Each structure stands twice: as structure tokens, then as C-alpha cells.
Amino acid sequence: GENVEQHPSTLSVQEGDSAVIKCTYSDSASNYFPWYKQELGKGPQLIIDIRSNVGEKKDQRIAVTLNKTAKHFSLHITETQPEDSAVYFCAADSGYALNFGKGTSLLVTP
């Protein structure tokens, strides 16, 4: 089955700096790659996604890049703010459900 690896597991940055989280996947048939943000006590919420026909997608301070050949995709958050502090999960579709990475706990310090 699909295996999604995510790094780093924890990340601490100063407010205003950039944060990058990287994921790799194993199933070459995967073609949908969402990123979720999970705040304490809440369910995961989609923040950005990318499909295999696109190499990069940007939404304000958040961008995602995809390299299908290498089977890796990354989340980039620029100008980080304290409210960006949360756990972030990458995922790849398995055809009928999503397989999630282990998560990155991001801490943005003022």
C-alpha cells in the first residue's frame, strides 16, 4: 500500500521566517496530495492541495510543490505567524482514501 514519509517531526521558527515541510510517497499511481492543519482539539482542516498535473500551487503565504518523478512534495509557509502553530499533515491518495504522514508539529515563536 501507499507509504507517506514526512519530515521533520517538529519544527520551530521565529515569527516572520519561512517553514518548509517535506513528504515522500511510494505509490506512483497517487495523483492527489493535500496538506492538513490540525489545531489542538480539532479535526484536520485542508489548507492547500495539489494534483499531479501541476508542479506548484500558491495561496497567499502557503505554497506546495510536487515532483512526481522523485515522488516528493513540500509545503512552504512564508512570513510565519504565531497562529500558524499547529500540527501539519501531508497525505497522498490511495485511490479511495488518504494515507497520511506522521505529522509535523510547527511552533512559531514571537
Partner 1 sequence: SAVISQKPSRDICQRGTSLTIQCQVDSQVTMMFWYRQQPGQSLTLIATANQGSEATYESGFVIDKFPISRPNLTFSTLTVSNMSPEDSSIYLCSVDGGGNTEAFFGQGTRLTVV
Chain residues in the site for partner 1 (CB under 8 A):
6, 31-32, 34, 36, 41-46, 49, 51, 89, 93, 96-103
Return d(Cα 62, Cα 26) in angstroms, integer. 24
Return d(Cα 72, Cα 70) in angstroms, integer. 6
To the nearest whole angstrom, how small is the minimum distance from the Cβ of residue 87 to partner 1? Answer: 9
Return d(Cα 75, Cα 102) in angstroms, integer. 14
Of 8 and 16, the one with the shorter C-beta distance to partner 1 is 8
To the nearest whole angstrom, how small is the minimum distance from the Cβ of residue 93 to partner 1? Answer: 5
Of 9 and 110, the one with the shorter C-beta distance to partner 1 is 9
Of 15 and 98, the one with the shorter C-beta distance to partner 1 is 98
Of 18 and 58, the one with the shorter C-beta distance to partner 1 is 58
12 C-beta neighbours (distance < 10 Å), count: 13
To the nearest whole angstrom, how small is the minimum distance from the Cβ of residue 38 to partner 1? Answer: 9
How far CA 82 is from CA of 15, 17, 48, 86, in Å, comes to 7, 11, 19, 9
